[in-house]
């Protein structure tokens, strides 16, 4: 059996993290577009005190939908991870931190975990079990780095 520190285990862990996070982000973006609708999300953001809710809601919905799909596929994962982590930190400080930890009271636990996971993906990259890994392998250079 392979050692727990082998590259296969590391790449498998990256894949699990990417796909799980991407699925949650994609679902939340989908929800903002198709269940709440953008006008509904704008109203909710305004009610929560998010500045520029008219712009913030469609940007958040798009970032979550597209960013989630990019994480699942493993394309532009570092960029998507950074942007999603920043979005979740904004949600944490603008809305959720004042409500404490637990989500049933509007707290920060979900956005904190999503921010940490997205930051972790941005730091470690997609791994070889990803579209970027298949396209670029261990190639180096500007395009391989950006695509990861």
The conformation of residue 41, written as its DSSP 8-state character, comes to: H
In three-state secondary structure terms, 18 is helix
Instruction: Quick: pLDDT tens for 31-65.
Output: 999 999 999 999 999 999 999 999 999 999 999 99
Rounded CA-CA distance 81/71 in Å is: 8
Q: Supply the DSSP string of 102-145, one letter for each residue.
A: -GGGT-SHHHHHHHHHHHHHHHH---SSSHHHHHHTT--SHHHH
Instruction: Quick: pLDDT tens for 92-116.
Output: 999 999 999 999 999 999 999 999 9
Q: Residues 6 or more apart from 97 whose CB is under 8 A from it?
A: 108
């Amino acid at each position: 059996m392979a050692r727990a520190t082998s590259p296969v285990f590391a790449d498998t862990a990256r894949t699990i993290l990417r796909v799980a996070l991407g699925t949650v982000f994609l679902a939340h973006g989908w929800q903002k577009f198709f269940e709440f609708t953008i006008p509904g999300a704008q109203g909710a953001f305004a009610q929560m005190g998010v500045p520029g809710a008219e712009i913030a809601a469609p940007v958040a919905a798009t970032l979550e939908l597209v960013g989630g799909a990019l994480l699942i596929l493993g394309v532009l994962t570092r960029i998507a991870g950074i942007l999603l982590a920043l979005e979740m930190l904004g949600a944490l400080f603008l809305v959720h931190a004042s409500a404490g930890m637990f989500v049933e009271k509007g707290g920060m636990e979900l956005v904190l975990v999503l921010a940490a996971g997205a930051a972790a993906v941005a730091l470690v990259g997609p791994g070889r079990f990803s579209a970027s890994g298949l396209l670029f392998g261990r190639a180096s250079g500007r395009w391989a780095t950006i695509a990861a």
